[in-house]
């Protein structure tokens, strides 16, 4: 099955919640496991036990594992392996973007099923030109994987690039969205190439219907609300994957509490964002 098909199935089976697996130093300390390799291992094991097969999506942030060096990357590999093929889709948050053979190597590292870091989908940056992402799309298609491209992020520095108008009269963000729309075409139930659009961007005049999944960070502790999501994504709510980290992880390290936090939020959002798709 294509990633778009699997994402649709996960949304229908579990709801739109994507749990960000972000082992911040402060969070490891709050859990009482310690900001060291042992603490990282305990954190990751609890997340796998709590979420595998119980939520539709998880999003490990690679940087928080990489800061422990090769041993931290091994924990990330184990985390991905423990979550994949359980009904839970792994979106690896790496925001890579490069050109040529380097981009191809990144794509093989994160999207090839034979790679120890191979995930269901990956986040990428288009700011070396959308065409530079071609290797990611090619490897994704070969492996039935997905790609999420930064489009409208909620960091305050983003508008100077994403809102800039290019030669065709569109904004940079609008151009990214249009190119994703063209890549997805009329794929059913939806395409495998998604956009990252923050829940806290305030408003947008862009057409967010790309016939693909929309990864929405910034929900919960970062300020995004259900009302924000309903307003920003009216008309495409059935394509929205709502990412939250601290809102769920704050109850750790208790596995039952983590699972209940995630499944309760899913139930809440399913009701609040219900559409007549």
Given this model, what pLDDT does residue 230 score?
A: 95
Catalytic member of 24, 95, 163, 246: 95
Given this model, what pLDDT does residue 275 score?
A: 64
Q: If you ran DSSP here, which 8-state letter would residue 224 be given?
A: B
Q: pLDDT tens digit string along 6-19?
A: 999 999 999 999 99
Given this model, what pLDDT does residue 71 score?
A: 98
Tokens 């071609």 belong to which residue?
A: 134
pLDDT above 60: residue 277: no
Q: pLDDT tens digit string along 98-120?
A: 999 999 999 999 999 999 999 99
Given this model, what pLDDT does residue 154 score?
A: 87
Given this model, what pLDDT does residue 65 score?
A: 98
Domain boundaries, the chain: 3-271
Phi/psi at 165 (5° precision): -95, 130
Q: Examine the residue annotation and report whether 274 is marked as an active-site residue of this protein.
A: no
Distances (CA, A) of 217 to 4, 155, 199, 240: 19, 11, 6, 10
Phi/psi at 170 (5° precision): -85, 160
Given this model, what pLDDT does residue 220 score?
A: 81
- Position 222 confidence tier, pLDDT thresholds 50, 70, 90: confident
Q: pLDDT tens digit string along 256-272?
A: 999 999 999 999 999 99
Higher-pLDDT residue of 76 and 202 is 76
Contact in structure between 17 and 261 (CB atoms under 8 Å): no
pLDDT, mean of residues 229-250: 95
Please state the separation of Cα 12 from the chain's center in Å.
17
Q: Is the pTM of this model over 0.85?
A: yes
Q: pLDDT tens digit string along 136-156?
A: 999 999 999 999 999 999 898
Q: pLDDT tens digit string along 156-203?
A: 899 999 999 998 899 999 999 999 999 999 999 999 999 999 999 988
Query: CATH: 2.40.30.10, 3.30.300.30, 3.20.20.70, 3.40.50.300. Which one for 3-271?
Result: 3.20.20.70
pLDDT above 90: residue 274: no
Tokens 């489009």 belong to which residue?
A: 151
pLDDT above 80: residue 221: no
- Written as six digits, the tokens of 228 are 């924000």
Q: Give every CB contact of residue 39 below 8 A, 6+ residues apart in sequence.
A: 23, 28, 31, 33
């Amino acid at each position: 099955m294509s990633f778009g098909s699997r994402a649709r199935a996960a949304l229908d089976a579990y709801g739109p919640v994507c749990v960000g697996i972000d082992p911040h130093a402060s969070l490891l300390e709050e859990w009482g496991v310690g900001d060291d390799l042992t603490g990282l291992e305990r954190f990751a094991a609890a997340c796998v036990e709590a979420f595998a097969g119980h939520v539709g999506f998880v999003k490990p942030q690679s940087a928080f594992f990489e800061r422990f060096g090769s041993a931290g990357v091994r924990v990330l590999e184990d985390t991905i392996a423990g979550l994949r093929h359980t009904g839970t889709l792994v979106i690896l948050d790496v925001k890579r973007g490069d050109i040529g053979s380097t981009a191809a190597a990144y794509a093989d590292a994160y999207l090839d099923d034979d790679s120890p870091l191979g995930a269901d989908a990956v986040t990428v940056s288009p700011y070396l030109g959308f065409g530079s992402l071609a290797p990611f799309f090619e490897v994704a298609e070969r492996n039935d994987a997905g790609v999420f491209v930064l489009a409208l992020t909620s960091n305050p520095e983003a508008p100077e690039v994403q809102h800039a108008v290019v030669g065709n009269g569109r904004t940079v963000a609008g151009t990214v969205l249009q190119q994703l729309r063209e890549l997805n075409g009329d794929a059913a139930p939806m395409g495998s190439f998604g956009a990252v659009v923050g829940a806290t961007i305030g408003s947008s005049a862009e057409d967010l219907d790309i016939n693909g999944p929309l990864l929405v960070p910034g929900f919960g502790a970062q300020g995004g609300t259900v009302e924000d999501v309903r307003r920003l994504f009216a008309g495409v709510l059935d394509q929205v994957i709502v990412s939250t980290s601290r809102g769920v992880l704050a109850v750790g390290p208790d596995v039952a509490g983590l699972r209940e936090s995630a499944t309760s939020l899913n139930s809440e959002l399913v009701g609040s964002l219900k559409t007549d798709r």
